[in-house]
Amino acid sequence: MISAGHVDLYQLTSSVPHWDAGLGHAPVVMSFFSRRLPRADDGAPTRGYLLWAGLRRCLEWLAAARFDDALVASLEAHPVLGPALKARPDFAAALRGWRFRGTIWAPPEGEVIVAGPATFPDGSPLAFDGVRPSAQTPYLVVETDLLSAKLIETPLLSIINHMTMVASKASQVVQAAGGRAVLEFGTRRTHPDAAVDAAYAAWIAGCAGTSNVEAHHRYGVPVLGTMDHFAVQAWERPGVPRSETERAFFRAFYEAFPENALLLVDTYDTFGATTGIRSAVAATEGRLRGIRLDSGVTVENVQKARALLDALGAPQAVVTVSGGMDEHSIRALDGAPVDAFGVGERIVTSPDAPVGVGAVGKLCEVGGRATMKLARGSGKATLPGRVQVFRGDDGVDVVGCADEALPGRPLLAEVWQGEAALPQPTPAESRAYAAAAVAALPAAARQPRLVEVAVSAKLAEKVKELVEMER
C-alpha cells in the first residue's frame, strides 16, 4: 500500500461541493502534459526534446494508493476539511474505499516528446480571439471519475515532473559523452526515495548504471562504484605516512576485488611521487582496472594521468572522471582520454531545468463534452477533448482528435484498463526504446530549440468552436 495523502489540500476541499452536487462520480478525461520545452530565465531554450520517464512509477502508484483509517482520521481532525468530512460520512467512506478505476492512454516510456505553441497544419499560428493553445504529446490521458481525477493529479505530476526532468537531462549528458559510459552518482543530492526514481530515469535515458543500490534491487539498474575518500582516510594509522596507508588500502581493496579495482587517486596528491596514481599502480603491481579523478579534472590533468599510467606499465587502466560533470563540462574535455564519466547532482537536480518539465494536468472532457482552458492572452490555453499524436517518418508530430486516423505512427496506447495496469515493457526494453527514439532524431532536433507543434484541421475547428462559445 502507498499513502494516497500525497495530494494538495485544495484538491480535497474543492471536491466537497462537487460531492454535494452529486458530481463525485461524473466522468471526466484529464490530460497530463508540458506546454513547452524548458527554457532558461532569459527565455533561451535549454532542451531540444523531453524524454518521457515515469510511466512505470505512475502505474505503480495508481495500483497501490490508498486512504487508510489513520489518514482519514488525520483529515477529519483538520480544522478546515475535518468538519466538512464529519458532516458527510458518505464522502469519508468514499475516501476509505477509494481505488483508482479508469482507462489511461500514454506513449511508451522512453518516448521523445516535444511541446510548444500550436499551429495549423500549414504552420501558421493557431489562435482565435486571443486564445493560442499549446500542443504536445501528453504523458498520460486519463478517463476516470471526477473525484479520482482530483486525487491523482498532484502525485502523478510529482512523478512526471521529476523523472522526465532527470531523464531529459541524462539524455543530454549521454549524447555529449559520445558513446563513453556515463555513471549516475547523484543519490546523495536528493531525497532517498527520489534518488531511486532518478537512478531509474537516468538509466532509461542511457546512463550505464547508478551508484544507488535500491534502484538495482527494485528495477535491475546496474549498480556501480568502488571506493570513496572516506575509505582511504579511514585506513590512516598514527605514525604511518599517509602515502603508506593509502597504498595499503589500495592493496587490500585490490585483493578483495582483483577484477574491479578502480581506485580513487586524489585523496592526497594525484600526481605525487609516492601517492595517488603511483601508489595505485604499485599496490596492484600494475593490474588495477582503472582510476577515478574527482578533482582537478582538466584536459591537461587527464592527459597527464593517462601518460603516467602508461609509463608505469598500466596501459589497460581506464580513466573515469567525476565532480561537477554535465554535458557542458564533458564537451570541454573534448580530446582528453576519458573512458567514463561520473555525473551526480547535475543530472538529478538538472540545474538548467530545476523545477521539472512544467508538466500540468488539465481537464479536456467533462461529462462526455470537450472542454478547454481558454486563459486568453496568457499562453496557457489547452487543447480540448481526448487527442492522439501521429509522428511522421520525418519525426514531425501532428496532434489530432482521438478518433482521427492521420498519417504517421500513433504515439498513445492504452496502458490501464479498469482497476489494473496492462502488461508493460521491462525496464531494459524501455531503455532500448529510448535509445532508438533519441537516435532517430535529426541532429538539429537534439539541440536546444524553440518548437511549435501542428494540430489537425479537425482539432483546430474544435478549438475554434469552444473559443467562440464564450463570445
| CATH superfamily for domain 24-64+101-154+362-468 | nicotinate phosphoribosyltransferase (3.20.140.10)
Cα dist from 413 to 107, 152, 155, 175, whole Å: 6, 20, 22, 28
Smallest CA-to-CA distance from 457 within 408, 402, 399, 407 is with 399
Distance CA 175, CA 206 (A): 9
Q: In sequence order, which ranges of 205-261 are alpha helices (DSSP H)? A: 213-219, 229-233, 242-256
pLDDT number for residue 352: 85
Residue 364 near residue 370 (C-beta atoms within 8 A):
yes
Q: Name residues whose C-beta falls within 8 Å of residue 67's C-beta, 6 or more positions apart in sequence.
A: 4, 5, 95, 96, 98
Distance CA 363, CA 370 (A): 9
pLDDT number for residue 1: 87
Residue 470 near residue 374 (C-beta atoms within 8 A):
yes
**Lookup: cell for 320:** 573515469
Neighbour-count burial of 319, counting CB atoms closer than 10 A to its CB (0-12 exposed, 13-18 middle, 19+ buried)? buried
Distance CA 459, CA 413 (A): 19
Q: Around Cβ 7, how many Cβ atoms within 10 Å?
A: 19
pLDDT number for residue 40: 87
pLDDT number for residue 471: 63
State how beta strands 420-421 and 387-391 pair. unpaired
Cα dist from 206 to 111, 317, 368, 411, whole Å: 13, 24, 40, 21
Cα dist from 140 to 35, 159, 189, 308, 438, whole Å: 14, 12, 28, 53, 20
User: Which DSSP letter does residue 324 get?
Assistant: S
Smallest CA-to-CA distance from 3 within 78, 74, 66 is with 66
pLDDT number for residue 355: 77
Q: What is the pLDDT along the chain (471 residues), one digit of tens a residue?
A: 899 999 999 999 999 999 999 999 999 999 999 999 999 888 889 999 999 999 999 999 999 999 999 999 999 999 999 999 999 999 999 999 999 999 999 999 999 999 999 999 999 999 998 899 999 999 999 999 999 999 999 999 999 999 999 999 999 999 999 999 999 999 999 999 999 999 999 999 999 999 999 999 999 999 998 899 999 999 999 999 999 999 999 999 999 999 999 999 999 999 999 999 999 999 999 999 999 999 999 999 999 999 999 999 999 999 999 988 999 999 999 989 999 999 999 999 988 887 779 999 999 999 999 999 998 877 789 999 999 999 999 899 999 999 999 999 999 999 999 999 999 999 999 999 999 999 999 999 999 999 999 999 999 999 999 998 866
